[in-house]
Chains A and B, each alone.
Chain A
Amino acid sequence: MLLRSILPLSNRLPVLIKKGSEADLFLIDWYDKQAISKLRTKRTYRHPVLDRELRYRRTIHEAEMVSKAKEAGIRSPYLYFLDTERNEIIMEYIEGVNLKTVLSADLALELGECIAKLHFKNIIHGDVTTSNFILERLSRQNNTRLAIIDFGLSFYSQRLEDMASDVRMLKEVLNSVHHELFDQAFSNFVKAYSSFSPYERGKKVLRKVNEIERRGRYSRIADSY
């Protein structure tokens, strides 16, 4: 692409740091700065029409949402460049550890705050797994801060149903992969989520989560009331 060719790119080769489910992440040099290149590569098993559409839509969406999240007061990567032909996003490299590896009950509080703030701005993350959060080390204060990455499945919505599906997804992840932490972590998440949500919304969203679970297969209807 023309634009790419006139941009000064470093000679250093991109380093693959994560082979994700829908995109590959590379660590690259961007104007002498470390950056992340998120490349949505072709999936040959998908029909080409479907494949092109999905990759294109998600790339554009993600670029928009990753910036909009900042309006909600959320730490997310800064967008450097968007290439809709290659379906590539170049963004800030946030240094830190993946939440999946360090999750604790206390961090679940922060998680609840983050999601509540996003929902307050009607942003639905759509992919609330613990691996989509980075615990960023703030060098000056010797402190940490939670950053959200990966907005590929995000969208705007005011519906309780969509907010609840974010919460339910996290619940499912906690209950499977982090199941030894589940009780404490989820109750902390709920506590923080409710206190950072507008009046009664926390309660309403949780009721909706129950409703979604009741719709699930072989769910015990009597248990959820």
Chain B
Amino acid sequence: MLALGIESTAHTFGCAVAEMKEKRNGTFTILSDVRSSYKPPEGSGIHPRDASRHHASVCHRMLKQAITLSSLKMESIDIIGYSAGPGLGPCLRIGAVLARLLSTYYRKPLVPVNHALAHIELGAQLTGARNPLVILVSGGHTMILLYLNKRWRIFGETLDITIGQLFDQFGRSLGFSSPCGSTIEKLANESKREYSWIPYTIKGNDVSFSGLLTSALKRPKGEKSDIGNTCYSLQETAFAILAEATERAIAFTNKEEVVVVGGVAANRRLADMLSHVCSRHGSKLHICPTRYAGDNGVQIALTSLIDHSHSKVSIAPENGFIDQSWRLDSVNVSWR
């Protein structure tokens, strides 16, 4: 079965064509994967309206490229998957409009996909993890999840901002443009590594990063070495919080596998800390490959394939909804 996946939750617009033979565990092949990301001006974040304008201006090109690269015709695609939420409303709408249009014109089943679920499914598929504890860390999510009784359940999550937002908002105050995670990692690596105390907040299984942000924003920014040390301290503290939260979750659930997905999975320091945590508890750590850790169309295509092949569910184009607050723990997972 062939699927076209359309992703447009935040700054990335992506289209991908993927194939899955038979049902789940069948071979999964990525036939094409194209993306275009909206770059906000330096020092500012993603403006939903500007990002959606970017998506609207590139979507036809992305679609064409995805189809051409897969050397298929639009007619031979079996289903159309699109990310229906959670995400930024105006951005989601662009993807949904395109998906509804294609579904109507080519008479293909339309499959709405939860974006967070898509991150998990692709991470599990690529790493081969079967029943993992999932750490979803990105600009939109910071969650520790476990699968239980037909749903992904939240073991712990952030009570305020996500780890991605923490880095982005701090980075923006220094004049970088979002996403700032990689810049902060670079500055931290180049710094003198002088640690200064930043509030460490862990509330039970949950984490909170707003206090870290306030504290980091108040640090001196005059010298380059000051900035480097703040980046270093911020990263050390934030990841130590995540590592402890992960350790708590492993100790409580005894999971033997841990999968890290989402844009922040690309950070080397986080991977390093989590590998320590996992080896201490005898669990196996899987990190989603960097290329597929962030938002992309492949995850949407894969999830729509899995969903459709099991539940046979699709919706009529006129019912193609978007939902900015579509929480992962409200999605029924029929296939696991």
Q: Is B335 an interface residue (CB 8 A)?
A: no
Are A54 and B327 CB-contacts (below 8 A) given A21-B248, A179-B148?
Answer: no
Count, chain B residues at interface, CB 8 A: 45
Are A50 and B200 CB-contacts (below 8 A) given A172-B205, A177-B253, A220-B325?
Answer: yes
- Bound complex: CA of A21 vs CA of B283, how far in Å? 13
A77 to chain B, nearest CB (A): 19
- Bound complex: CA of A164 vs CA of B252, how far in Å? 22
Are A169 and B244 CB-contacts (below 8 A) given A50-B195, A176-B155?
Answer: no
Are A169 and B252 CB-contacts (below 8 A) given A50-B236, A215-B160?
Answer: no
A155 to chain B, nearest CB (A): 11
Q: Is the CB of A20 within 8 A of B197?
A: no
Q: Is the CB of A217 within 8 A of B252?
A: no
Pick the contact of A172: B156, B243, B324 (CB < 8 A): B156
Q: Is A128 an interface residue (CB 8 A)?
A: yes
Q: Is B89 an interface residue (CB 8 A)?
A: no
Are A49 and B195 CB-contacts (below 8 A) given A218-B86, A218-B326, A218-B327?
Answer: yes
Q: Is the CB of B325 within 8 A of A218?
A: yes
Q: Is the CB of A126 within 8 A of B200?
A: no
Render A168-203 as a binary contact track against B, CB cut-off 8 A, 1 for contact. Answer: 010011011101100000000000000000000000
Q: Is B204 an interface residue (CB 8 A)?
A: yes
- Bound complex: CA of A126 vs CA of B140, how far in Å? 26
Render A143-182 as a binary contact track against B, CB cut-off 8 A, 1 for contact. Answer: 0000000000100000000000110010011011101100
Q: Is the CB of B154 within 8 A of A176?
A: yes
- Bound complex: CA of A44 vs CA of B248, how far in Å? 16
CB neighbours (8 Å) of B250 from chain A are 21
Q: Is A138 an interface residue (CB 8 A)?
A: no
Q: Is the CB of B252 within 8 A of A177?
A: yes
Q: Is B206 an interface residue (CB 8 A)?
A: yes
Are A47 and B236 CB-contacts (below 8 A) given A126-B204, A179-B153, A218-B326?
Answer: yes
CB neighbours (8 Å) of B195 from chain A are 47, 49-50
Q: Is the CB of A220 within 8 A of B202?
A: no
Q: Is the CB of B153 within 8 A of A176?
A: yes
Are A131 and B276 CB-contacts (below 8 A) given A217-B158, A218-B327, A219-B325?
Answer: no
The B148-183 residues at the A interface (CB cut-off 8 A) are 148-149, 153-160, 162
Question: Which chain B residue shows the least CB distance to A50?
Answer: B240
A87 to chain B, nearest CB (A): 15
Question: Which chain A residue shows the least CB distance to B154?
Answer: A176
Count, chain A residues at interface, CB 8 A: 38
Q: Is A46 an interface residue (CB 8 A)?
A: yes
Q: Is the CB of B277 within 8 A of A126?
A: no
- Bound complex: CA of A215 vs CA of B325, how far in Å? 12
A173 to chain B, nearest CB (A): 7
CB neighbours (8 Å) of A128 from chain B are 204
Q: Is the CB of B141 within 8 A of A217?
A: yes
B238 to chain A, nearest CB (A): 11
Are A218 and B253 CB-contacts (below 8 A) given A44-B276, A45-B273, A169-B203?
Answer: no
CB neighbours (8 Å) of B240 from chain A are 43, 45-47, 50
Q: Is A216 an interface residue (CB 8 A)?
A: yes
Q: Is A85 an interface residue (CB 8 A)?
A: no
- Bound complex: CA of A127 vs CA of B252, how far in Å? 12
Could you name 23 residue pairs across A and B whose Cβ atoms are closer than 8 Å?
Answer: A22-B247, A47-B236, A50-B195, A50-B200, A50-B237, A131-B252, A153-B202, A153-B203, A166-B204, A172-B155, A172-B205, A173-B205, A175-B153, A176-B146, A177-B153, A177-B155, A177-B253, A179-B148, A179-B149, A215-B160, A217-B86, A217-B141, A218-B325
8 further interface pairs, Cβ-Cβ under 8 Å (given A46-B273, A175-B154): A45-B240, A126-B203, A127-B204, A165-B206, A176-B146, A176-B153, A177-B155, A217-B141
